[in-house]
Structure 1
Amino acid sequence: MSTTTALLDGVAAAERDLPATGAIVGALGKLAGTRATLQALRTVEGRARTELDQAIAEASDRERRLHGTAAAHSIGADATTVQLARDAIDRFIRSGDRLVGARRDRASQHEQTIQGRTWYRRPPPERLVGDTLRRQKVGRGAV
């Protein structure tokens, strides 16, 4: 029995000598949370890199087309020239919109004028029917 008691005393002494495991378990929990956060951030970074690569490719394509168009029309591709061309295009579009509006107004006025002339040349059908009936009565001597 003394051997058993000595063994139990040894186990109790070893337990006292070991550090507490609460801090280690807490640190492992934090590590697992940090790993999950890191993985999520890596996923977001991967998506952002993909979007950046696509944006760079689109910008390169636009620049290539800009230089091609500039060369085809013998104009510069610098920012000032491009802005001047953009402003000229905007002015052209606005004047086209104004022209379309003016043509639409003119067509509407023309249509109203034609309808007005038609009204005076030809009376409405109900007036024609009334005039015809009056003439028939006059012809019979009944007015």
Structure 2
Amino acid sequence: MDMDVPGDRRLAAAVVMNDEQQVLLVRRSEKERFLPRVWGVPCGKLEPGESPEDGALRELKEETGLLGEIVRKIGESSFVSDYRGHETKNWQDNFLVRPLSGEISLPQPDQEHIWLRPSELTRVDIDDYNLDVVRQALMNS
């Protein structure tokens, strides 16, 4: 059996909303293999044994430097990705997160961040998948 083929992958996303009802979007580095320079919400793979809530907050800290707290789960998303010629099903838990710190530091120098109101989201190059995740938060807030 090929041990290299991953099974289903689990991810978690953090939709950060501040007191002004603005959502945090981060632009991916152009060095990223997956969706370079596309705007989206902080998101990433869960580590073994990690809860989706913990994963969302860890990814948020790794990708933006922000500390946050989970307000609630807002929904789920799934997508199929291609990993070395094998289709992998990705399951993503999405959370509304309140920021507990203000200083944003992005890992790559060519990244940017922006706070946008819901009506302004399409001002940047955000993909439909991330837009849907953000809309989950808006529908349930």
- When normalised by structure 2's length, the TM-score is 0.17
Query: Which structure has the highest strand share of the two?
Result: 2
Rg (Cα) greater in structure: 1
- When normalised by structure 1's length, the TM-score is 0.16
| Structure with the larger RCO, 1 or 2 (CA within 8 Å, 6+ apart) | 2
